[in-house]
Copies of this chain bind each other. A is one copy, B any other.
């Protein structure tokens, strides 16, 4: 039952997910424009929504859809209006956030009953706290600890001495190596590998000698880690993902990296060894960061950028090599006009030549 969690009564509807619009508006603390008694049975995208459904419009660019949608109600930002009297609006200063909360209402919570599947293999000294769920073919090595109400789904592996915090969720086929600490309310998607050896070798003549990777990984509370992400263990000390940071699919995080709190790292980014990223920074997709860099707080790094130098707090950088974004934009604008510049250079040369010929 999600109603207990959301603090909403059930609304008396025929199904537990039917809500009255007025109730929803109050729940998200939005301003209702229209009939509060409209019954909402579900949510959908603005192009797919049918009568009885609620949708949202965060981007004014798509405002034209308001005239066409079959939805019964739309969550909108401050500036948006409609002439359609049959279409109710919930106006909200942060429509995307309001929509997230409505989705939670209708998504409900997936229930994983407490217990350990008979095919799971637990080595000696494993501690499983109350309410935890261990699915089929899960393997937990010696001395690992699975926190209260944590969920470890099919085929996942938790290595020796690692800890999975309260209420955290490992989707199927996740690998957590030994001595990794995962905080509370963490979500780790399928195929992610946390704690593989850092990539460290010392040259010995023509050969590469492996540097033992003796450190660990610390994933703090409320972090989300995407599918097939790799986060390597530190050589010594820990690789850290700060509280509330969100990491998209196929990201690579090397040994001894330190990522601050509430950062966003979009898909396929790569962060080289020992680099530090401050709180609240955002990396767009396919970004590459060199090693031993200091990236400040509230930094924004544009897609596919290659960062080779430290970036101060609050700066937006872009490009390869990454420069302050307005510099990269100016260079790009010049590049688009290179043809023209070259022609102008030729004209100048021509004019000079003629002038020289005509001079006495």
Chain A contact residues, CB within 8 Å of chain B: 43-45, 48, 94, 96-97, 99-101, 103-104, 106-107, 117, 119, 121, 135-137, 139, 153-155, 157, 159, 171-173, 175, 177, 187, 189-191, 193, 196-197, 199-204, 206-212, 214, 222, 224, 226-228, 230, 232, 235-237, 244, 246, 248-250, 252, 254, 256, 262, 264, 266-268, 270, 272, 279-280, 285-286, 288, 290, 303-304, 306, 308, 320-321, 323, 330-332, 334-336, 338-339, 341-342, 344-345, 348-349, 351-352, 355-356, 358-359
Give 6 closest A-B pairs by Cβ, nearest first: A107-B212, A193-B227, A97-B202, A175-B190, A196-B227, A230-B249
Chain B residue contacts of A191, Cβ below 8 A:
175, 191, 193, 228, 230
Q: Contact between A172 and B190 (Cβ–Cβ < 8 Å)? A: no
- Give Cα A266–Cα B280 distance, bound, in whole angstroms: 27
**A288 partner residues in chain B, CB cutoff 8 A:** 268, 285-286, 303-304
Q: Are B177 and A157 in contact, with the CB atoms below 8 A?
A: no
Q: Give chain B nearest CB distance to A63 CB in angstroms.
A: 14
* A209 neighbours in B (Cβ, 8 Å): 97, 100-101
Complex CA gap A127/B330 in Å reads 60
Question: Can you report 23 residue pairs joining A to B where beta carbons are below 8 Å apart?
Answer: A43-B236, A96-B203, A99-B211, A106-B214, A137-B137, A154-B157, A173-B175, A177-B190, A190-B196, A193-B249, A196-B227, A199-B267, A201-B264, A228-B228, A228-B230, A230-B250, A290-B303, A321-B332, A323-B336, A330-B338, A335-B338, A341-B345, A344-B345
Q: What are the residues of chain B within 8 A of A246 when measuring CB–CB?
A: 199, 201, 208
Q: How far is the CA of A356 from the CA of B356 in the complex (A)?
A: 12
A197: which B residues are within 8 A, CB to CB?
A: 187, 189
Q: Least Cβ distance of A237 to chain B in Å?
A: 5
CA distance A227 to B251 in the complex (A): 12
Residue from A177, A211, A246, A249 whose CB has the most chain B CB atoms within 10 Å: A249
Q: What is the copy number of this chain in the assembly? A: 3
Residue in B196, B267, B338 whose CB lies within 8 Å of A189: B196
Kindly list chain B residues whose C-beta atoms are within 8 Å of the C-beta of A356: 351, 355
Residues of B within 8 A of A342 (CB): 334, 341
Write out the residue numbers on chain B whose beta carbons fall within 8 Å of the beta carbon of A190: 157, 175, 177, 193, 196
Bound form: Cα–Cα A351–B359 in Å = 13
Across-interface contacts of A155 in B (CB, < 8 A):
137, 139, 155, 157, 173
Give every chain B residue within 8 A of A336 (Cβ-Cβ).
Answer: 323, 331
A61 to chain B, nearest CB (A): 9
Which B residues are in CB contact (< 8 Å) with A232? 227, 249
- What would 18 more interface pairs be, CB under 8 Å, given A43-B214, A94-B203? A45-B236, A96-B203, A96-B211, A99-B211, A100-B210, A103-B211, A136-B139, A137-B137, A137-B139, A159-B172, A171-B177, A173-B193, A193-B227, A228-B230, A270-B285, A348-B348, A351-B352, A352-B352
Q: Which residues from chain B contact A226 at a C-beta distance below 8 Å? A: 196, 199, 230
Chain B residues contacting A345 (CB-CB under 8 Å) are 341, 344-345, 348
Partner of A121, one of B96, B119, B203, B351: B119
Q: Does A203 contact B97, Cβ atoms closer than 8 Å?
A: yes
